[in-house]
Amino acid sequence: MALKRKSKQFKWHHKHLLGLRELSAEEITYILDTAKGFEQISTRSVKKAPPLRGRVVVNLFFEDSTRTRNSFALAANRLSADIIEFTKKSSSVSKGETLLDTARNLEAMGIDIVVIRHSAGGAPKFLSRNINACVINAGDGFCEHPTQGLLDVYTIRKIKGTLEGLKVGIVGDIAHSRVARSDMWAMTKLGAEVTFVGPPTLMPSRADELPVKISYSLDEVIEKVDVINMLRIQFERLGGNPFPSIREYSHYFGLTVERMKRAKPDILVMHPGPINRGLEMESEVADGRNSVILEQVTNGLAVRMAVLFLVNQAAATANR
C-alpha cells in the first residue's frame, strides 16, 4: 500500500463536526463524496465494515430523538465501533451532573467519539474544547444540525446531480429550526438559492442578515422552487401564540395536494421528520411520488457513517 502514487490529495483535518457554517464548499463536497462509498454497506450481504473496529462512540443525547440517535447508533455499528447509549432521563444528569463532568467521566472510560445533542446552542463546541475525543454535533439549540444538513444536500445532489442553480424553499418554523440553518449553510455554499418561508412570527430575528430570501407566502414560492423542505412545527419549543390556530397555519403554510398542483412536476418534497401529518403536509403529499422523505433517512445513514469515519481519520492521521 505504500506504493500508491503521490498525488495531491485532499486531506480531511477536522476531528470535530460542529457545524456546516465553518466548512468550505470543498469540504462539504468531500463529505458527500465519501458518503457515496458507504451507501453500499447497507445493501450487501454483510452489512458491516471494519474501519472503526476497537473505537468507542457515545451517543450523548440531552434531548429526545429517535431518528438521529438510532441513525448514529446504526452507522457506528456498521463501521464496527462499540457504542454507548446515554440519555438524559436514565443518567446522572438527572442527579445534577454538569455536561463537562458527564463527558469527562465518559472519556475516562476511553471513548473516542462523542455524538452530542443538547438544547443549549454551542454545547458541542464547548465540549470539543475541553475533551480529547472527537465531537459530532447532532443538534444544538437553534444553531445547527450538521448531519441533517448534509443528508439533505446529499439527497438533492443524488437526484438532481448538483445543487448549483437550484431554488430551495424551507418552510415553517425557521426561528426554532437548527435544520433550517444547517440546510442554509450547506445549500448556499454549494450554489443553491434558499428562500425561508413562514409567518413573520416564526422568522428568526435579523433574518435579513442571512444569505437567504425571505417570503411570507408559500403560494408565491411553491411554483418557483426545485426543492421544498417542510419543517416540523415543534410544539415543544413554541412559546406564546406564533399563529392563531393549527388550521390557519395549515391553510397558509401546509403543503396540500392543491398546492402541489402548481409546483414543478419534478419538485422534491423533503421533511426532516417526524411529520405532523395534516399540519405541515397532507398525507397524500408525504407519501406521494415527489416525496423523498424516506430516502433522506436512508441517506442519513451513509452520511453519518462518512462523518464518523472522517473525524476518526482526522484524529488518527493528525501526525502523518
Residue ranges that bind another protein, judged by CB under 8 A: 1-5, 9-12, 33-34, 36-41, 44-46, 48-51, 54-55, 79, 306, 309, 312-313, 316-317, 319-320
CB of 309 to another protein, least distance (A): 7
| Shortest Å distance, C-beta 252 to another protein | 43
CB of 154 to another protein, least distance (A): 14
Q: Any residues with CB less than 8 A from the CB of 264 and at least 6 apart, and which? A: 223, 225, 226
Q: How many whole angstroms separate alpha carbon 214 and alpha carbon 205?
A: 12
Q: Answer whether 34's CB lies under 8 Å from 310's CB.
A: yes
**What's the min distance (Å) between Cβ of 204 and another protein?**
36
Q: How far is the CB of 124 from another protein (least distance, A)?
A: 23
Q: Considering beta carbons, is residue 40 or 92 the nearer one to another protein?
A: 40
Please say which residue, 5 or 206, places its beta carbon nearer to another protein: 5
Q: Which is nearer to another protein, 59 or 312 (CB)?
A: 312
Contact 257, 283 (CB under 8 A): no
Peptide bond into 244 cis (omega under 30): no
> 222: which 3 cell numbers?
411553491
Tell me how long the chain is: 320
Give the H or E element holding residue 278.
Answer: none
- Tell me the torsion sign for CA atoms 221, 223, 224, 228: positive
Q: Which is nearer to another protein, 80 or 91 (CB)?
A: 80
β-strand partners of 86:
60
- Closest CB to another protein among residues 245, 319: 319
Cβ atoms of 65 and 94 within 8 Å: the answer is no
Least distance CB 315 / another protein (angstroms): 9
Output helix, strand, coil percentages for the chain, rounded to the nearest 5.
Answer: 40, 15, 45
Of the two residues 10 and 235, which places its CB atom closer to another protein in the complex? 10
